Amino acid sequence: MNLQEHFIRKALTEKCIKFSRIDCDHRNAVSYVDFKKYPLIFPMSLFEVCQVLKSEKTTEYYFRGVITPQRKWMYGFKNATIINSFRGRNGNKFAYDSNYYIGLSRAKFALCPVGDCNWSYRLFEAVMCGCIPVIEEHDIFHNVFFHYHKDEQHIYLPEKAKENLKILESNYLL
């Protein structure tokens, strides 16, 4: 089971929605529940935890994850908190990482490099925590959420973070 399937199973269970089959197309960020197509779906419990964690934005930029050679561009940001972490890359990958979400909730901007596909969960997690995503290249969600490209000037706009949150709430939760 991948994270996408884990999230949609949890979301369905939280809403007491019965299902018999789930298929995930991770590359295109869609899931099928009993052959009905859904976008990425996040569990309400994760969304609610992120809302509780929201705090004063004391960090400019934040990244916690695996730093590959393709992600070295993140080191170009002054005042960035960048933590190399393999959590999520081991057998306990679905465990909730409180340090990750606390860090995101304190940041104005989340550095969101793409992963194995042309999108990243980090972008959605950043939005849930009130961050503005900063991307290196366009991903399949670049037209959905307000974000900055890595080479643009970054100004934290709380109203844009709130708009992003409303988009996520309307489209990526059950």
- Interval 61-103: pLDDT, tens: 999 998 999 999 999 998 999 999 877 655 456 667 888 999 9
Give pTM, 2 decimals. 0.93
pLDDT score of 2 more than 60: yes
CB 63 within 8 A of CB 41: no
**75-95 as b/e, with b when 16 or more CB fall inside 10 Å?**
eebeebeeeeeeebeeeeeee
Cα maximum dimension of the chain: 49
pLDDT digits (tens, 9 = 90+) for 108-117: 999 999 877 8
pLDDT tier at 23, thresholds 50, 70, 90: very high
Residue-range domain boundaries for the chain = 3-42, 46-171
- Amino acid letter, residue 129: C
Alpha helices (H) in 15-150, listed in sequence order:
44-53, 98-106, 121-128
